[in-house]
Amino acid sequence: MRPSLRKQGTGPKVLIAGGGFAGLSALQALARTGARVTVIDRNVYSTFQPLLYEVATAGLTSADVAYPLWSATGRRGAAFRKGEMAGLDTDKRIVTLAAGEQLEYDYLIIATGVSAAFFGVPGTAEYALSLYTRRDAVVLRNRLMDELELRNEGLADPELDVTVVGGGATGVELSGTLAELRNVALPAVFPEIDRQLFKVRLIEMGPALLSPYHDKLRRYTKDQLVDRGVEVLLNTAIKEVRAGSVLLADGSERRSDITVWAAGVSAPDAGWTVGLPRGRGGRIEVGEDLRVSGQDRIFAVGDVCLNEDKPVAQLAQPALQQGRHAGEQVIRLIAGQPTRQFKYHDKGTMATIGRRSAVVELRGGVQLRGTIAWFAWLGLHLIYLLGNRNRLVTLVNLSWRYLTWSRGGGVILGDDVPGDD
């Protein structure tokens, strides 16, 4: 059934560059205001990034974590343009897309997101895989399945080493699920592979995993990963990534058939950012109301923005709140009212380690771990998924995966289309 579409407004032109958490939250705030809103994105879909690791480990299809932007915009009376920003004229208030199309704006909200940050480590761009886009997840999944298939048929060295670099939520979730894939599903799906020769390694430069969490939850996370057979290396820096190995800062070298870089993000070094103030990681500097420093009509929200005085984590909740705030401030400016300061309401953080194991730290110091935390994690992620179809399919696929892994169920094989990003 086609979604019901709202008529577009006739008020000031508002451009939202980016259809992720922050951009769609800004769109939601601007709905029914009469503004002429246009969302720009290089893809025709919005990606639910927190579940990309499930796509990468063959638990979900890439369609399960994607939602069509034309549907999201149409339901809210906005327009959609597929394209990538190539130029920004702040004096004339014009955004130029890579294909040459020019879009005028009265207000601009930049929510373009970030990409992997390699921190100048040699070999990362050439030999490491990332996990920040839908394409990244599909490429990693296909690479993993190809490597397992070759070994199952006896066409490659029996040993398979996977190295995940970065002990944040992405690294923990990916390495934990890889270990469970090996421990539970491998005998049924790839019976000729010796599980002892499938090795998962997690490397973190700092002294602990999930550094923002309470020390008790950090220790629990490490213990759970070790129990699942993950080799965890802390206080360990990567000096170089090579075709089949990683070179550590102490000079030792570890075999690595697949290296996944989950150690940080940075804003894209695009031509249109020339003239905008940029801080750490290339992120766009903003003031207390999230307007870009030195600009009256341009906001930056989500991972791409940075307030040096009051930084927030590059997570979904801050992006959602910032996007909504920016949309509300545009409404105030249209009405001739002063903007208000952004105040982040920390609702807590959570990360999953594997089946029936997660950590949750809520505002006020409440801490959960284990099965109850895992169900809380699952429920919240289903709530924030866009589209009833995605929620239902994801619930079914994840439930089927955890119920039938040991019999070979819940492993999605085949060449999925990588997508546009």
Kindly report, residue by residue over 254-278, the tens digit of the pLDDT. Answer: 999 999 999 877 777 777 888 899 8
The domain boundary residue, chosen from 283, 302, 334: 334
Cβ atoms 156, 147 nearer than 8 A:
yes
Q: What is the pLDDT of residue 50?
A: 87
Say if residue 148 is in the same domain as residue 259: yes
Say if residue 173 is in the same domain as residue 275: no
DSSP-based three-state secondary structure for 313: coil
We report the CATH number of the domain holding residue 388 as 3.50.50.100
* Structure-token pair, residue 49: 């990034």
Say if residue 362 is in the same domain as residue 258: yes
Q: What angle do CA 22, 331, 106 make, to 5 degrees?
A: 85
pLDDT digits (tens, 9 = 90+) for 24-51: 999 999 988 889 999 999 999 999 888 8
Predicted confidence (pLDDT) at residue 1 exceeds the cutoff of 50: no
Amino acid at 203: I
- Adjacent-strand bridge partners of 17: 40, 110
- 146 occurs within a structural domain: yes
We report the CATH number of the domain holding residue 300 as 3.50.50.60
Q: What is the pLDDT of residue 414?
A: 59
Q: Point out the least confidently predicted range of 73-77, 169-173, 344-348.
A: 344-348
- 59 occurs within a structural domain: no
By residue range, what is the domain housing residue 150? 124-264+347-407
- 60 occurs within a structural domain: no
The domain boundary residue, chosen from 311, 334, 357: 334
Say if residue 391 is in the same domain as residue 356: yes
Measured over the CA atoms of residue 128, residue 169, residue 50 and residue 291, the dihedral's sign is negative
Identify which of 8-12, 69-73, 322-326 has the greatest average pLDDT.
Answer: 322-326
Rg (CA), the chain: 22
* Structure-token pair, residue 159: 């040993």
Say if residue 29 is in the same domain as residue 96: yes
Count of CB atoms situated within 10 Å of the CB of 10: 8
Say if residue 272 is in the same domain as residue 259: no
Predicted confidence (pLDDT) at residue 341 exceeds the cutoff of 90: yes
- 8 occurs within a structural domain: no
Predicted confidence (pLDDT) at residue 19 exceeds the cutoff of 90: yes
Is position 173 annotated as part of the catalytic site? yes
Say if residue 324 is in the same domain as residue 209: no
Say if residue 186 is in the same domain as residue 329: no
Q: What is the pLDDT of residue 2?
A: 45
The domain boundary residue, chosen from 313, 334, 355: 334
Q: What is the pLDDT of residue 192?
A: 92
Say if residue 202 is in the same domain as residue 305: no
Say if residue 136 is in the same domain as residue 259: yes
Q: What is the pLDDT of residue 69?
A: 93
pTM above 0.85, yes or no: yes
Tell me the average pLDDT across 338-357. Answer: 89
Amino acid at 372: I
Say if residue 98 is in the same domain as residue 239: no
Closest CA to 88 of 100, 78, 96, 76: 96
Closest CA to 208 of 238, 179, 232: 232
Say if residue 187 is in the same domain as residue 252: yes
Given the residues 101, 104, 149, 173, select the one marked as catalytic.
173
Share of the chain above pLDDT 90, in %: 59
pLDDT digits (tens, 9 = 90+) for 174-222: 999 999 889 888 888 899 999 999 999 999 999 999 988 899 999 999 9
Domain count, the chain: 2
Q: For residue 105, what is the DSSP state?
A: -
- 416 occurs within a structural domain: no
